[in-house]
Amino acid sequence: MNLRDIVKILDAKVLVGEDRLDTVVKTAFSADLMSDVLAFAKPGSLIITGLTIHQVVRTASILDAVGLLIVRGKIPGRETLELARELDIPVLSTRYILFETSGRLYAHGIVGCVEKIEKFNCRQ
Amino acid sequence: MDWAYQSSFSIEGGNFENAGKASIEIKKILKNLKISDEILRRTAIVVYESELNIISYADQGVINLSVTGDKILISVDDVGPGIEDIELAMQEGYSTATDRIREMGFGAGMGLLNIKNCSDELQIFSEVNKGTHLSIIINRMERES
């Protein structure tokens, strides 16, 4: 599956990276918490989020993500998109909510970049 | 010691607009030094979390990066409030983040722990009302598994 297939499945808009739609996607990580994306996402994953601030792009770049998929119909501001262009991170936007987006992609064979976390973390 | 690369990056506390800029610059430099992908990613995460910590909590700070044939050394010094209880700060979920930090999707209390997980060695020294020093080593030899 590549980004072009994802655009079709989710009826998504391509905001950045029209020329990068052949990029293959095998795994993904969905979260609105960038702290967790940084701690748990694996390289080469698609990051699915409802956050649109420019920090999402920098986080994706640090992690070598294959792209950003913004959910709930949000369109990031000009600044965020310019940064994505500069750092060469494809950005797609879909109107589906995070749950539906993840579920639809999973049904098409994309899996989580981690299945589950090793252990429960209880704070004393 | 024979350095392959050495440089310092100044980070301004509270400058959220630029958060991550230095880390992306450092990542580019390391990529040119032909650091392997896995080591590059771990180093980038460590530097990024450190940069975010300075911006989120300190007045100012410096990230020093040194690369040798077999190691990447990162030292982070900031001037700021310091950490009162390092053990507590290392616990997952513990955070003193402001709303501003949380709006950006950070401040979930994962930072120091994530730095530790991505490092081979981590030492933290902190003095309340003065600042915090992190000393981090990442071996260029890949981990097993």
Kindly list the residues of chain A whose beta carbon comes within 8 Å of any beta carbon in chain B.
32-39, 43, 49, 51, 53-56, 58-59, 61-64, 87, 121, 123-124
Total tally of structural domains belonging to chain B: 1
Among B15, B28, B102, B110, the strongest candidate for a mutation testing the A interface, having the largest count of A CBs within 10 A, is B110
- B111 contacts on A by Cβ (under 8 Å): 35
Residue B144: DSSP 8-state? P
Mean pLDDT of chain A: 95
Helix (H, G, I), strand (E, B) or coil at A62: helix
- Inter-chain touch B109–A35, beta carbons under 8 Å: yes
Cβ neighbours of A55 in B, within 8 Å: 16, 19-20, 104-106
Is-contact B57 B11, C-beta < 8 A? no
B111 close to A (CB below 8 A): yes
For residue A87, the tally of other CB atoms under 10 A from its CB is 15
Which chain A residues contact residue B106 at CB under 8 A? Answer: 34-35, 55
Q: Provide the CATH number for the domain around residue B42.
A: 3.30.565.10
With an 8 Å Cβ cutoff, is B24 touching chain A? yes
How much is the ipTM here?
0.88
Residue B20 is nearest to which of A37, A62, A64, comparing CB atoms? A62
Residues of the domain holding B77? 5-139
Q: What is the pLDDT of residue B2?
A: 57
B20: contact with A, CB 8 A cutoff: yes
Query: What pLDDT score does B19 carry?
Result: 93
Question: Quick one: pLDDT at residue A117?
Answer: 86
- pLDDT at position A44 is 92
Instruction: Spell out the residues 6+ positions from residue B12 whose beta carbon is closer than 8 angstroms to its own.
Output: B18, B55, B60
The pLDDT value given to residue B4: 80
H helices within A27-97, ranges in order? 34-40, 54-62, 78-87
Kindly report the length of chain A: 124
Q: Give SS3 for B126.
A: strand
Give the mean pLDDT of A61-78: 97
Q: How many CB pairs under 8 A join A and B?
A: 74
Q: Is residue B15 part of a domain?
A: yes
Neighbouring residues of A26: CB distance < 8 A, sequence distance ≥ 6: A1, A44, A110, A111
Residue B123 lies in a domain: yes
Residue A106: name the closest of A98, A33, A4 by CA.
Answer: A98
Residue B145 counted as domain residue: no
Asked if B93 has any chain A CB less than 8 Å from its own CB, the reply is yes
B37 occurs within a structural domain? yes
Average pLDDT value for residue range A52-73: 96
- A34 and A55 Cβ atoms separated by less than 8 Å: yes
Q: Output the pLDDT for position A54.
A: 92
- Cβ distance A36 to B117 less than 8 Å, yes or no, reads no
Q: CA of B18, closest CA in chain A: separation in Å?
A: 9
Asked if residue A29 lies in contact with residue A45, where contact means CB atoms within 8 angstroms, the answer is yes
What's the pLDDT score for residue B145? Answer: 52
At residue A24 the predicted structure's pLDDT band, cuts being 50, 70 and 90, is very high
- C-alpha angle B80/A57/A75, rounded to 5°? 120
Domain A3-112 superfamily per CATH = HprK N-terminal domain-like (3.40.1390.20)
User: What is the rounded average pLDDT of the residues A77-84?
Assistant: 96
Give the pLDDT means over successive 10-residue stretches in chain B (145 positions).
82 94 95 92 96 96 95 97 94 91 89 94 97 97 67
Task: Give the pLDDT confidence score for residue B1 in this predicted structure.
Answer: 52
- The reply to whether B144 falls in a domain is no
Which candidate from B23, B41, B104 shows the least CB-CB separation from A64?
B41
Q: For position B144, what pLDDT does the model report? A: 61
